[in-house]
Structure 1
């Protein structure tokens, strides 16, 4: 997360508004969860995909009906953020893809993010992997 991202912001949610390229936010988080102490406890990994086919009137989640370059830029930034995380290497006990509608991404984009998660947070043998989905954005080819 120490690099440059879309609009100079983290894609992880609320704290992203305060993320600085110098890593100040990460140092605070690291001290709270013991990264500096060498803890290797498994993590619950959440990846937020903020895009949907359309924005539902009742939805108050951080999601947007968007297409084009911003979607690809967000996928690339998400992969970079995962790969540069100070938590990389810690195993995952759960992996959850939420949003938005993660299955709104095309197959190649989903695979890139999924592989980045697996590289940075190797799943435990009993790891639960879950994704929010919309029936209109899922088919056998995407998950086959």
Structure 2
């Protein structure tokens, strides 16, 4: 066996795309996920999401909804319309939490939704729920 310490919910190299334009949030999400054993690809620019996702082939996408120049809801719909990415689960994370927003986000194809500010425990629980078990 490896000398690596066992991390609760260790990911066995599962890949997560983190789409977040806020530098501090993106760094926090990536640091927490890497500490959990995940391989992470950060994306700050919504215009790059589809190209990066096709290249990186993530097991999960974490999607900010309020991005400059493009809606995260539109990006979720675009990911779901791409045959290579359609089965990838999406966790939407946003401060944009008005009445009906969660319904619109889920209708676009997100499997789960967290509103900001995000606590690490619920964030990691949502990630583990959405990723297939490895073993």
TM-score by length of 2: 0.36
Larger Rg: 1
Q: Which has the higher strand share?
A: 2
